[in-house]
């Protein structure tokens, strides 16, 4: 038999689930102090997430997509990007967006039903939140093509979930990246569930990373609960992209510790033992153990930082709650330059209902 080609998917992990090193650390991350800013950001994101859920439960926020358990993957992706790069998120990568300057109050504004939240702080070339699944991958591929044509050493990064990697948009994006050697990184955040559909029922592929092989991309699977592995995986892919070596598909293995959104009840489709086991691998406890063992973090420092995070998030919550609501006509006034008659009639009806 003649073999046309063979492939391997490398798996990156440096910290085991108990926080002890399982491989030699990359040179860039051997100083544990270098990991502290990202770890503190992970703690901030978790504080924000818990308070956002509380806001929704008390009727002060619309449906909200939790990022609980994704902190290392999201923060690591954001920490690996440069300001002139382009980020195309889905709808829960708050840790990456906070690293790029998005304000928590803007996230809350968006989930509160106010589209002004999508005009967020940070790099203006970044794309807005994308609820349609994986269409943002095509947007990022377009940005990467622009960088290639303009001979700019920037890159485009898109995030999707494990279910999103089965969409035609994802495949079209990776095929374009391979055909044109685009500086594109497709981050597949594999949290085990596409809402209620388990990974096992989504695809016959042994890994999700290998989907990039069909397009000729570099492919890598990473322990998404290991911040060091996330940073190293992104470093490798970024270096390749900026050097003109083409794009990558990185599969980040993590777990969704909360419901898909606050409109979901994950108890209906996954069992408690699975969730309890996932908590033994979660990213913050793992990195806390490592940093404490290295003597650069302590319980006292975390208590003080947790208190500061709570205050910072409360400031953002108050800013969100105090933002004046847009007038009802705002939902009509920004759709068309020349509104059609039926829309104008709806606008007039809405104003009449308000007595204006």
334 classed as catalytic: no
256 classed as catalytic: yes
Give ∠ CA 3-188-23 in degrees, rounded to 5.
75
Q: What is the CA radius of gyration of the chain?
A: 21
Token digits of residue 233: 């995986």
Residue 179: partners with Cβ closer than 8 Å, 6 or more residues away: 215, 216
Reported in sequence order, the residue ranges of 40-171 that DSSP labels E, i.e. its strands, are 86-88, 156-161
Q: How many residues does the chain have?
A: 356
Pairing type for strands 193-194 and 10-12 reads: unpaired
Active-site entry in 30, 116, 267, 269 = 269
Instruction: Give, to the nearest 10 degrees, the angle between helix 227-242 and helix 71-79.
Output: 30
Token digits of residue 1: 């038999």
Pairing type for strands 193-194 and 197-198 reads: antiparallel
Active-site entry in 218, 256, 281, 286 = 256
Active-site entry in 70, 74, 236, 260 = 260
Pair 110, 117: CB distance under 8 Å: yes
269 classed as catalytic: yes
Residues with a catalytic annotation lie at: 256, 260, 269
């Amino acid at each position: 038999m003649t073999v046309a080609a063979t492939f391997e998917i490398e798996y990156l992990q440096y910290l085991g689930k108990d926080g002890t090193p399982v491989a030699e650390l990359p040179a860039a991350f051997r100083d544990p102090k270098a990991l502290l800013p990202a770890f503190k950001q992970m703690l901030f994101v978790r504080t924000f997430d818990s308070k956002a859920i509380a806001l929704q439960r008390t009727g002060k926020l619309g449906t909200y997509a939790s990022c609980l358990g994704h902190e290392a993957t999201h923060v690591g992706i954001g920490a690996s990007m440069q300001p002139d790069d382009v980020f195309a998120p889905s709808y829960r990568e708050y840790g990456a967006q906070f690293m790029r300057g998005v304000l928590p109050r803007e996230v809350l504004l968006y989930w509160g039903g106010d589209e002004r939240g999508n005009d967020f702080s940070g790099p203006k070339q970044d794309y807005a939140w994308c609820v349609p699944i994986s269409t943002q991958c095509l947007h990022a591929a377009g940005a990467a093509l622009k960088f290639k044509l303009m001979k700019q050493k920037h890159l485009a990064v898109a995030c999707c979930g494990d279910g999103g990697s089965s969409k035609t948009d994802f495949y079209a994006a990776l095929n374009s990246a391979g055909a044109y050697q685009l500086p594109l990184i497709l981050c597949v955040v594999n949290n085990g569930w596409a809402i209620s559909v388990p990974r096992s029922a989504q695809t016959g592929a042994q890994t999700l990373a290998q989907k990039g092989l069909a397009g000729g991309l570099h492919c890598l699977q990473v322990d998404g609960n290991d911040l060091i592995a996330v940073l190293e995986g992104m470093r490798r892919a970024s270096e390749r992209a900026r050097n003109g070596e083409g794009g990558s598909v990185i599969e980040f293995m993590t777990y969704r510790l909360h419901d898909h959104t606050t409109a979901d009840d994950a108890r209906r489709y996954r069992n408690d033992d699975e969730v309890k086991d996932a908590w033994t691998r979660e990213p913050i406890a793992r990195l806390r153990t490592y940093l404490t063992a290295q003597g650069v973090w302590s319980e006292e420092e975390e208590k003080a930082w947790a208190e500061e995070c709570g205050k910072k998030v409360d400031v953002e919550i108050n800013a969100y709650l105090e933002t004046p609501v847009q007038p009802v006509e705002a939902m009509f006034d920004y759709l068309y330059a020349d509104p059609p008659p039926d829309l104008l009639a709806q606008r007039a009806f809405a104003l009449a209902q308000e007595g204006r």
